[in-house]
Amino acid sequence: MSRTTLTDGSPVTDDHRDIDPATGMQKGYVVLSAEERAKGFVRPVRRSYVHSTCGGVTTMGQALAETYAREPTFYSGTFCACCGAHFPVGADGEFVWDGTDIGMRMLTPRERFSAQGFPTSYVIDHGIDADGRRLDLSLDAQGRMCGNSVCPPLAEALVRANVAVEQRAEAA
């Protein structure tokens, strides 16, 4: 079973990206399959977004909205019904979710480290190699390292709890 389909659940076709000159829309749009979307969402399901360049609001079908909610990086661009054309989404994209100031994008590595409990002073853009030389880290590498990190506040809480138990044992 394929992980992706077109919005109506039919198989993805080679020519789905062809633009219909009457509407400016593609012949078809790829979404995650119903089975894949049923695995759950990592973001709220939002139906409408604003193109910040023209101010126009576009509302998506449910399958597209659920695909964004399941996998926020699935699309690199989206359609503006007002302009009748596609524009980029992402860090340098032109869209926010309607009624919010939330861009249709992934969190930056810094935002992810903050959510993980690291102080803003924590250096994430470079490390030091075995010879003591500065090693610059790509955004991808920063994101990967955040994914592999342990929440500092959680580690601190565990150590504090264990120290307290040992101190009580020593006092007894």
Residues 29 to 48 in contact with Zn ion, rule: CB under 5 A: none
Count Cβ atoms below 10 Å from residue 127 Cβ, excluding itself: 13
Q: Give the DSSP H/E element, type plus range, for residue 172.
A: none
Site residue total, Zn ion (CB under 5 A): 6
Give the Å distances, CA to CA, from 110 to 120, 130, 148.
8, 25, 14
What the block records as the tokens of 21 is 């000159």
Q: Give the DSSP H/E element, type plus range, for residue 86.
A: strand 85-88
Give the residue, chosen from 45, 83, 106, 107, that forms a contact with Zn ion under the rule CB under 5 A.
83
The answer to whether 25 contacts Zn ion (rule: CB under 5 A) is no
What is the nearest approach in angstroms of Zn ion to the Cβ of residue 87?
A: 7
- In contact, 46 and 95? CB cutoff 8 Å: no
The answer to whether 56 contacts Zn ion (rule: CB under 5 A) is yes
What is the nearest approach in angstroms of Zn ion to the Cβ of residue 63?
A: 22
Give the residue, chosen from 32, 37, 50, 51, that forms a contact with Zn ion under the rule CB under 5 A.
51
The answer to whether 54 contacts Zn ion (rule: CB under 5 A) is yes
Nearer residue to Zn ion within complex by CB, 57 or 107: 57
- Could you give the maximum distance between any two Cα atoms of the chain, in Å? 83
The answer to whether 50 contacts Zn ion (rule: CB under 5 A) is no
8-16, 49-57, 100-108, 122-130 -> range binding Zn ion (CB under 5 A): 49-57
Q: Annotate 135-152 with DSSP letters as a single string.
A: EE--HHHHHHHHHH---H
Distance between CA 67 and CA 5 in Å, rounded?
11
Give the residue, chosen from 6, 57, 82, 139, that forms a contact with Zn ion under the rule CB under 5 A.
82
Nearer residue to Zn ion within complex by CB, 58 or 114: 58
Contact set with Zn ion (CB under 5 A): 51, 54, 56, 80, 82-83
